[in-house]
Structures are given as C-alpha cells and as structure tokens.
A and B are shown apart, each in its own frame.
Chain A
C-alpha cells in the first residue's frame, strides 16, 4: 500500500512540474554568475525588462550559474543548443569560444557605427575579436591604488614619491611595509609592463614576451624589490589582505573585489596607480577585465535577445547596476549622473579605467599564464635574470602556439 502511495505522489510531482511548461509564452534565459547585491541588481533590471516587453509576448528568466563551473558550462552546453539565449562573462574566454564555433553570435549587423563612443574607452576592444564585435561591454574591473588614510595623507603620484614614502614606512623586522602588492603575479605586474610599452602579443597574435620593454619593466620591479627593499617577500593575496588590515601596509595595489575584505576599522582611500619615473613618467596601465553580454549563437530568439542586450547596456540599467549592484558599468553616460558622481569608489575606478588596457581575449592567452608565472617566480627568486626568464617563457609560449596551429593546412 505504501509503495502505491509513493508512486502516486511521484507521478503527481512529475505532472505538476510538467504542466506549467505547456502553453507558455516565449521565454529567454540569461546566464550570470552573480551573487549578493550584484544578483539583486540584475534581477531588478530583468524584472524591469519583463514589465516592458510583457505585451510583446515574451519574458526573460535569469539563471545563476556558479562561477567555477560557468566557463565550462558555456563551452559544453551552448554549441549543442542547450544553453541560454544571452550570457554574461569576462572577455578572457571569448576568443576560445569564437574559435570553437557556434557559441557567440557576431553582433556587427545590429550595431550602429558610433557604438564604441557610448562605452568606457577600451571596453569595446575587449568585445572585438578578429575585427568582429561579439558582445557589448557590461562592466569593467581593474586594479588601482588603495591606501590607508591613517598612514598616508596624500597618495603618491609617481613611483619616485611612492618608493621614497614606502622606504620611510618599511620596517622588515616588524613586518611593516610602505607598499605591498602581488608583484610576482603576472596579472598585477602587467600594469608596470604596460607602462614601459611592453606587451604579451603583437597582432597575429604573435607572442612577444621577450620584448626589451618587458625585460626593462621586470628589472625596474627587481630594483624596487631588491635594492629599495620596499616590497614584502612572497606577496600572496592572503598576505596582502592581512598586512593591510593590520595597518602594516600603507599602500597596496588591488582591485574592487578586494574592498569587501578590508577591515571596517581601516579608513582607506583610492587613487590611480602612479606614473613610473623609470619609464619616462608614463602611467602604470593595469589590465582591465571586462564583462560582456553575449548572444548565444544557437539561440532561437536572437531579435528578442538583442532587445535584452540593448536594455542591459542602457543608462537605466547602468544606474541600477552601479547603485544597487556596486558595479562599475561600461556605459559612459552613467558617470554624469549625480548619484554616481558623488560615489568616490566608482569615480576612482572610472578614473583608473582611462589608463587601463583590456586584457587580451585571444585563446592563445591561456598558454601565457603558466610560463609567465614560472618566469615571474624565477625572477623574484633571482634564479634567473629577467632577460633569461622571459626568453625561456617566450620560447615555451611560441612552441605552444605553434603546436596549436600546427595541424592546419
């Protein structure tokens, strides 16, 4: 008897799940990996959109996908037509998805020519691969200078000022540093590399890790670390957080993701990364990660999807995402809004973005990380000179790139 009840209940449950799917309007799905306030803001934005298009007979359903699984899910599901209609992700995987095919819909057809003027500089480049636009920028992030107001009155404008200031405050024996950042992390180091006019790829993309500018940037870093002795050893993210929260690091370089980890007792300020005296006064240019909105290539509702994309890049959305979601939108007009103008964090990020460089979106970029990290470690451990280490990394990346392209006709 009990078994029968269980079977009946299961059947009911299955039916009740199946019924709402019948006779419903067109429904678009958008994937995101937001949590907390970002998610709240996005849900609000999507609700607004749904209210607007209700009369057009379709609606949008947001679906949160855990960040760790996100990229792999996109890679696996979308080309087989199982994915969303629209999805949000940073530009670093874009090239790989385009090369894999049937994942990201090209958008040039929908766009007007002056589109890139509407977005924060550089963000549109991140959405462009092989001269074709595949997405529209949603928001951006980059590292900037975060300083402890108790220890630093005016943030330094040049590396000369920074090093002088840091020297005064550094006391290695007490574990106190004037300046700390994850300099051995290639992502962080890129800001210094870019100041020297260095880069990872020439157009092609052709890896150029061993450029003299890159070597120069590393030599300068080693000077700060070894000669000036103003940076801590083994600068892991956990260490930087600990130092900053214990008033033991006056100035750090980190991104907006770090702000939530700052202890409530710390009064901090934000400023642009300094200019580099050794690079002739050129500013440090951090790599920007730009989250874009993409239409899935197999989507059956591309026109509606583009309506959603348009809504997501609108001023109205940008305002919600900035105020509720605490994001820094790629929409330029939002920075003229009074509520945003008086927000010091968002304004600081916006200022830094003027000097940012979008991180390359080539699929070849994934081959750079491991050799570059190895090279950075060899250099800061002084097992190899910058020139030697970068030469070796270049060889390794070039070999991987050649092998990747090796089997074409």
Chain B
C-alpha cells in the first residue's frame, strides 16, 4: 500500500466518522424534537379544552370551577397539578394540589407563585400585542418540561373575548417515537473503506488523483444512501403518530362534552378542532373534529419540519467530503509534518493564536453567520437557523440600485441607498488621505530644514491635534461651523461674505468632515514623514548638488523614492482607518443632511442600534469587510510592485 492510498483510506475513515456521527446526532436530535412536539401537542389539547370549559363556567357562573377541575383530573390519568389563576388580584380559583387547597382558594397566591402569575400576565399581554401588531410574535401557550419528563403547559382562559387568567397543568407524554439506530452510521464508515480497499487492490497505480476521485465517488454514494435512510427514520412513523393524536383528541373531546353538560349545560362546544394548536393558539388543522387525518396537510407540515434535518445532513456530508479531499490529497499530511517540524515555533505563537481565535475570529465568524439571518430585536431568542434568510440581506443591500428617486419635490438622490453611501465613503477616504499626506509631508519637510530655530516647540505644537481626544476636537469644530455664532462664518462675514449654513448642504457638510479629519490626521503623517526624512543620508543630497540637481529634482529623485517604504504602509493603514472612522462623522455632521453624508460604518451602526436590525447590519458590515479586503489585496500588489522597482 503506497502513501497516497493510505492517505485516502484515512480520509475515508475520518470523513465517514465525522459525517456519520454528525448525521446520526442530527437525526437523533430531530427525532427528540419530534417527541417534544408530540408531547406539547398532547398537552395543548388538554389545556385548551379545559381552558375553554373554564371560561364557559366562569362566564355563565353556572357551576363550581373547582368541581370541574377535580373531575377533569380524575378522568385523565396523564394529567396532574391543575391550577387556575385569575390575573386580577392574583387569585387562585381552582387547584388539585393539596397544599393550595389547604391554604384556601380564592386568595392571593404566595410569593413563590410569582413566575406563574408573570406567565399568565405575559400570555395576556402577548395576545394583546399580537392582535395590535396584526401578527404572531408572542407566545399564547407556554410549555416547560419538568424533571420527571412531564410537560407543564399554561394557556389563557377567555371571558367575553378577554383573557382573564390562565390554566396550568402537568401532562405526561404518552406517545413515543421510534429510536434511531446507529447501525446506519456504522455502515457509512465501514462500507466505503472496504469498497475502496477492494478497488485499490486491483488498481495498482502511483497516481494520486484517480484513486482519490474514485474514493470521492464511493463516499458520495454512501452518503446519499445514509442521508436517505436518516430522513426515512425521521419521517417514516410520523403519519402513524398523527392517527394516535387524533384518537387522543377524540377521547379529550368526549370527556369535555360530558363535563360541559354537567357544569355548564347552556354551553355547546364548537364543531371544529380548536384545541390542537400551535403556540399562538392557531389551529393546526392536521385532523378534523371527527378524527379524520388530513393527509395532504400532514405531508406539507412534515416537509416544513424536515428542512432543518435535511440541511444538517447536507452540511455533515459536505464536511465529510471536504475532509476526505483534504486528507486524501495529502494536504493534511503535509500540514501535520510542518506542525511537527516547527513545533517550537508553533508552540510560541499558540497563546497569541488562542487570543486571536477568541477575540477576533470568533466574533468575526459569528458576524458572518449573523449576516445570513434576519435577526432583529424581536427574535433574538430564536435559534439562528430558525431565522435563516440566506443571501436576502446581501441582495437587499447590493440589489438596491435605485440611486435616484422621484418624489413630489422632484427627482433626487436617495441618500439611504448603499451605493451612494459607498460613494461618499470612498470620496471621504480619498480626500482625507490626500489631505493628510500632503499637509503632513509639507510640514515634515519644513521641520526637517537644517538649523531651523525652535524646531522642538513647533513639532510639539503640530502634534497637539493628535494628542487631544477626538471627541473634544470634533465637538469644538462642530461649534466653529455654527451658522450664526461659529467662528468660521464670522471670518467669512468679516471679509464681506454671506454666512454659510454648513450642515444643510451635502457638499458643505462633507467639507466640515474633511476639515475636521484633515486637522486630526496630518500629525500622524507628519511624524511618519519626519522619521523617514531623517533616515535619508545627507550624502545623497550632497552628491546630487555636486551633479547640479535642482531643489525640485532632489525632492523628486531622492526624497520621494526614499520615503516610499515608510509612506506606503502608513497610507494603507490610514486608508483603512479613515474608511472606518466612526467618530468624526458621528459627532460633527451626524450624516446630515438627510443621511447624505453617512459613511458605511456609521450607517451600519444606525441600522444595528437605532433600527435594531442585527442581521441586516451584520451583512452591511460584511460588505464593508469585503470592500476593505479587496482594497488590501490590490494595495499589496501595488506596493510590492513599487518595492521591486526600488531594489
């Protein structure tokens, strides 16, 4: 067996184990969720039925609620700990718990029942919110799994169309799901190994790529079968459960109508299945009131609920194939050998690497994942894959090409558009860096003159703008630009000009930002240039002078080329800083007028923290990252080219 074959066999083994294990875990998890779902639906039917009767009894005042509750408890051996709470006055109206009865009903509940009260209250206000907003956002039935596996379910009861309190009970799940066998996963690991081992015996070749592609084909085939099988073990028995639930519903309904006749004779149950609902009390309609299962509806519901597992299996398969490719192609082996050979070096960077991992790569990766979801303030409690929207955010950002918009006041630029903001950001960066470099270089040249008196004092003064906190500088500048009382307008009027409303025009407001940031950024460039200038040997100038070079020629052919190695990294850094410079825009013009002077980062901040659209803001930030990334590559290429000329 040669090295390539061995690598491929290891790849098959590792890939098979990883995707087999993950696929198995996903399937088990999905089946467990299905089990929870079944338990919840059983509990929902119970609690919704009793809540309906409770409302009827309390509304008609025809019977004693406590009798109804006790009788309900007696008839259903899977139900225990029933309690009915009225929100007004926090009164416990009925209970089957001995301690409650001992304390006496119709009394304010004790402190330890605050969570129950809060839940009831949340159901009440949740329903109101759903109605007001015209949507379904807040739960109207809550489930809590107890230590003994019983489901504690709480649902509101309604009197005269208003939620007045809640019914709570513990329900023991009676329907069970089939367990998932790990044999499938084992076959997935073993089968490709043998298949490939057998084939490689026949196929004795030194070439790596043909066996690898064969191994990939075998692996893909095995994964396909494995995934089919896993999906089947999830979906297969579902139709059966639906029938069992329908039978269970029939029993609850029979009991309910019997009890209704005793306790509220005037009340008749509606001829619809209104008890098998989702968490918003919306009927699922998977089976009718007479227990006949609607097969099309069940199939559809099953398809929707399978999507998550399907995606999970795809992901596991992809990972397995990638691992096989990585190991089988020999890259993994090479990587491992480097790691072993340079183990000392790697152990030195480990602490820094772990720091980077936690502080940089994890938030970064999380941000990227977030950008594919529709997370907003209202759904932060949901799992990310439940609010997955794929590329929708990116499509919304990049696909919005309506830069011009027509309104009743005429056609104008839509300042909220991404491309406008990107344009402003680029203009902002280019202007600022140009100004910073030019001013910085000129000042550095001035300070570098030999025999210049009081050089140290000038240098200290010129660095001051940099030393002051950005906040202070930005706010002072904002004051300087005030229309009526600002110093700048005062100077303009001194020379006979008209005062300018700086923050009203797109261009003038842009100028304010440039002025402030120009002021803030030149000291950095000046210091960098000064350092570069001082490292240029005076001999070169002397030689140039002897050759008859003019001052400009000296600057053009000695100073500039010698400054390049110091200046270019500084420019790269400065571009990235300026591109993402939040403070100045935020504090000085705040993106006014009408968001026209917003740059990409301030816009992303606004989306995240004023509009609470976290997913969209994450996508926005990712786009900014890619723009800077592209710039970085481009700049790297450029600067390398210049370095080559220098050599």
Query: Using a CB–CB distance below 8 Å, which chain A residues touch chain B?
Result: 96, 99-101, 106, 108-109, 113, 130-132, 175, 203-206, 232-234, 236, 238-239, 242, 303, 363, 366-367, 369-370, 374, 377-378, 381, 383-384, 388, 392, 396, 400, 403-409
Contact = CB atoms under 8 A, between A and B. Distances in A.
A204 B125 contact: no
B250 interface: no
Interface in B349-388: 374-381, 387
Contacts of A369: 610
Given A378-B594, A405-B378, A400 B482 contact: no
B612 A366 contact: yes
A407 B595 contact: no
Given A96-B612, A204-B132, A407 B387 contact: yes
Contact of A234 (B122, B407, B501, B594): B501
A233 B483 contact: yes
- A-B pairs, top 4 by smallest CB distance, nearest first, are A407-B374, A130-B125, A204-B132, A131-B125
A409 B126 CA distance: 15
Interface string B475-497: 00001001111000000000000
B137 A363 contact: no
25 contacts: A99-B378, A100-B380, A101-B380, A101-B381, A106-B118, A109-B117, A109-B118, A130-B129, A203-B132, A204-B133, A206-B132, A234-B484, A234-B501, A366-B610, A367-B612, A377-B592, A388-B407, A388-B409, A400-B613, A403-B616, A405-B137, A405-B378, A407-B378, A408-B378, A409-B136
Contacts of B90: 109
A233 B377 contact: no
A370 B595 contact: yes
A206 B375 CA distance: 21
B612 A404 contact: yes
Interface string B596-630: 00000000001001111101100000000000000
A383 to B, nearest CB: 7
B482 A238 contact: yes
A407 B393 CA distance: 12
Given A109-B117, A363-B377, A377-B594, A383 B611 contact: no
Nearest to A75: B609
Given A377-B593, A377-B594, A370 B135 contact: no
B408 interface: yes
B128 interface: yes
B504 interface: yes
Nearest to A236: B482
B121 interface: yes
B380 A109 contact: no
B512 interface: no
B308 to A, nearest CB: 15
B407 to A, nearest CB: 7
Nearest to A71: B609
Given A108-B117, A175-B484, A374-B592, 5 more contacts: A204-B133, A233-B484, A366-B610, A404-B613, A407-B387
Contact of B611 (A203, A381, A400): A400
A384 B409 contact: yes
A239 B609 CA distance: 29
Contacts of A205: 132
Interface string B385-422: 00101000000000000000001110000001000000
A404 B377 contact: yes
Contact of A96 (B111, B377, B501): B377
Nearest to A377: B593
A363 B481 CA distance: 33
B377 A100 contact: yes
B589 interface: no
B76 interface: no
B315 to A, nearest CB: 22
Contact of B135 (A203, A363, A405): A405
B174 interface: no
Contacts of A392: 407
Nearest to A235: B484
A234 B483 contact: yes
Interface string B567-604: 00000000000000000000000001111000000000
B334 interface: no
Contacts of A239: 482, 484-485
Given A132-B125, A233-B483, A377-B592, A370 B606 contact: yes
Contacts of A234: 482-484, 501
Interface in B469-525: 479, 482-485, 501, 504
Nearest to A175: B484
Contacts of B137: 405, 408-409
A20 B11 CA distance: 57
Contacts of B280: 409
B114 interface: yes
B282 to A, nearest CB: 10
A95 to B, nearest CB: 9
Contacts of B592: 374, 377
Contacts of B128: 130-131
B124 interface: yes
A409 B140 CA distance: 14
Contacts of B381: 101
Nearest to A302: B114
Nearest to A113: B89
Nearest to A363: B377
A303 to B, nearest CB: 7
Contacts of A383: 409
Given A367-B610, A403-B616, A408-B379, A132 B122 contact: yes
Contacts of B593: 374, 377
A233 B137 CA distance: 45
A297 B377 CA distance: 18
A405 B376 contact: yes
Nearest to A105: B118
B125 A403 contact: no
A367 B379 CA distance: 17
Nearest to B282: A409
Nearest to A370: B610
Contacts of B615: 407
A404 B111 CA distance: 36
User: Which of A101, A109, A204 has the most C-beta atoms of chain B within 10 angstroms of its own C-beta?
Assistant: A109
Nearest to A101: B381
Contacts of B132: 203-206
B612 A363 contact: yes
A38 B615 CA distance: 40
A381 B509 CA distance: 15
B485 A242 contact: yes
A170 to B, nearest CB: 15
A405 B129 CA distance: 12
A109 B92 CA distance: 13
Contacts of A101: 380-381
Contacts of A367: 610-612
Contacts of A388: 407-409
Nearest to B389: A407
A405 B133 contact: yes
B612 A303 contact: no
A232 B389 contact: no
A218 to B, nearest CB: 16
Interface in B135-164: 135-137
A203 B125 CA distance: 13
A101 B111 CA distance: 22
B408 A106 contact: no
B357 to A, nearest CB: 21
Contacts of A175: 484
Contact of B121 (A99, A100, A108): A108
A360 to B, nearest CB: 14
Contacts of A377: 504, 592-594
Nearest to A130: B125
A109 B114 contact: yes
A383 B506 CA distance: 13
Contacts of B606: 370
B377 A406 contact: no
